[in-house]
Chains A and B, each alone.
Chain A
Amino acid sequence: MIEVQHLTKRYGDLTAVSDISFNVASGQILGFLGPNGSGKTTTMRIITGFMPATGGTVKVAGFDIFDDSFEARKRIGYLPESPPLYNDMTVAAYLRFVARIKGMRKAEIPDALDRVLTRCGLSTVTGRLTGHLSKGFRQRVGLAQAIIHNPQVLVLDEPTVGLDPQQIIEIRALIKELAGQHTVVLSTHILPEVAQVCEKVVIISAGQVVKEDMLANLTQEQTLEEVFLKAISQEEPQQEPPNGEEAGGAQ
């Protein structure tokens, strides 16, 4: 459903993401792991068509995100790190607006609206301004916004950050429910979340994929924490040889 191949993104001299490749099968939930600043958000922004890559290709539901951008974007729901809400709109008006710009027909919107309001537990706040909502509700509106047009692919950037335990449990349950009908990419650095929710795991560190496997295979012999720490510390010896050579050359 999602094919990422040799993806590279440079901001000037800084390489945020370097030669990343991975695939997500239809209906799967992919846990996209990595320390802060490892390139998770950059990768997700490229997958959703927010920014172009410096190199490499991304295909979503068979459509290239660069060449067939519109077709690909129609099939993606995206929840950025902070939910993209207009604070002066009510929840219902906001969701209707999103449904329209995602290309839904007017006749389809009332049903879709009812569906996401129930699903995300927003029925009691439809008339409230999004700017007046608590963080947990804002996150749910963000999620509702991502799924209103029933996209094949969902990209969620740290959907549970800053929520209280009760809300975290609810949001995780919701994401689990969404799998099957949707293919989900979930970025996070909360490992138990991955263990509970995801089927497949991709770990990136310093802009490179250091581990890609099914969760079940990874956690056969060790815990996810061990796998994660091992994977991200593997990165360092790989980077050291060039430094060593340089030092050697200087002598």
Chain B
Amino acid sequence: MRNVLTIVGKELRSYFVSPIAYVVLTGFLLLGGWFFFNLLSRFNLLLSLYLQVQGGEAANRFNLNDSVIAPLMHNLAIILVILVPMITMRAYAEERKGGTYELLLTSPVRTGEIVLGKFFAAFLFIAIMIGLTLIYPAILMAFGNPEFGIMASGYLGLLLLATAFAAVGLLTSSFTENQIIAAVSGLVATLLLYVIGWPAETAGDALGSLLRYLSVTEHFAEMVRGIIDTRALIYFASLITLALFLTQRSVESLRWR
């Protein structure tokens, strides 16, 4: 445990001394702010139109959760598909390239501790990143009355999704010493997880429900709607565990070459 904390500290420090962290954070908040602004102004426009035309009856069908929060969550998820692999790409690739693997693997530290340390550091970074976007619901809470529970569930979904992506990105980083390859293969993997459910409707019952279960989007969309299903929690937990386990094997396998 002590070693895990040491590695977390070192990793977090290296996130924040490299410009990557600031570029990623700025880009994420810039895009997030742009989506939020547009969704909100569209909501405002539609609401005022409906109020004029039908005397307020139809306007009751609108609410902040469905029209602003939910699409915002889905948009942020798509940005995370792209950005998370960029955050995790250097985690192992850089150690291999710089020869620091030799330091880590000849120290009295278990491979699992290295893997967990790097994972928790990536998780904390992502939590900070997503935490900064809490400003949007805070604004909505201040000026409107969105339903808090649904927002909380959506945010939990976003955090789980990003954490799962981080675990996958760390895995692809452990395969190579080239950061570009790590980022691209991470991006392909996270994007695949995002779209794997698309053919579900035409794939027949058994395969369709399997694909739906494998897709992060299905579970995430439910949480954005405010439904926290144990199946979704188990899905994210097993995806993360599997990725971490494979990462541990992959790091360990370097010794055997």
Contacts and interface: CB of A to CB of B under 8 A. Distances in A.
A152 to B, nearest CB: 14
A86 B98 contact: yes
A132 to B, nearest CB: 13
Contacts of A103: 107-108
Given A51-B255, A52-B256, A86-B98, A102 B105 contact: no
24 contacts: A11-B257, A51-B257, A52-B256, A71-B108, A73-B108, A76-B106, A80-B102, A82-B99, A83-B99, A84-B98, A86-B10, A86-B14, A86-B100, A88-B17, A97-B6, A97-B10, A98-B103, A100-B2, A101-B6, A101-B104, A102-B107, A102-B108, A103-B107, A145-B103
B3 interface: yes
Interface residues of B, number: 25
B19 to A, nearest CB: 10
B109 interface: yes
Interface string B142-181: 0000000000000000000000000000000000000000
A84 B17 CA distance: 19
Q: Is the interface of B mostly helix, strand, loop or mixed?
A: helix
Interface in B116-143: none
A52 B106 contact: no
A100 B257 contact: no
B13 A78 contact: no
Contacts of B17: 88-89
Contacts of A70: 108
Size band of the interface chain A makes with B: 20 to 34
Contacts of B255: 50-52
B100 A88 contact: no
B82 to A, nearest CB: 24
A190 B205 CA distance: 71
Nearest to B113: A101
Interface in B1-34: 2-3, 6-7, 9-10, 13-14, 17-18
A45 B102 CA distance: 9
Contacts, number: 73
Given A51-B255, A100-B6, A84 B102 contact: yes
Interface in A56-106: 69-71, 73-74, 76, 78, 80-89, 93, 97-98, 100-103
Contacts of B9: 97
B18 A84 contact: no
A51 B106 CA distance: 9
B227 to A, nearest CB: 43
A48 to B, nearest CB: 4
A136 interface: no
A73 B103 CA distance: 11
Interface of B: 2-3, 6-7, 9-10, 13-14, 17-18, 98-109, 255-257
Listed from nearest, the 6 A-B pairs whose CB atoms lie closest are A84-B103, A100-B6, A84-B100, A48-B106, A101-B107, A73-B108
Given A86-B10, A86-B100, 6 more contacts: A49-B106, A83-B99, A86-B98, A98-B107, A100-B3, A100-B6
Contact of A87 (B13, B98, B257): B98
Contacts of B18: 88
Contact of A73 (B2, B6, B10, B107): B107
Contacts of B104: 101
Contacts of B10: 86, 89, 97
Nearest to B255: A51
B185 to A, nearest CB: 24
A87 B99 CA distance: 11
B99 to A, nearest CB: 5
Contacts of A89: 10, 13-14, 17
Contacts of A82: 99
A108 B257 CA distance: 36
B118 to A, nearest CB: 13
B99 A84 contact: yes
Contact of B13 (A11, A52, A71, A93): A93
A85 B6 contact: no
B188 to A, nearest CB: 28
A82 B108 CA distance: 20
Contacts of A52: 255-256
Nearest to B5: A100
Contacts of A71: 108
Contact of A88 (B3, B7, B14): B14
Nearest to A75: B108
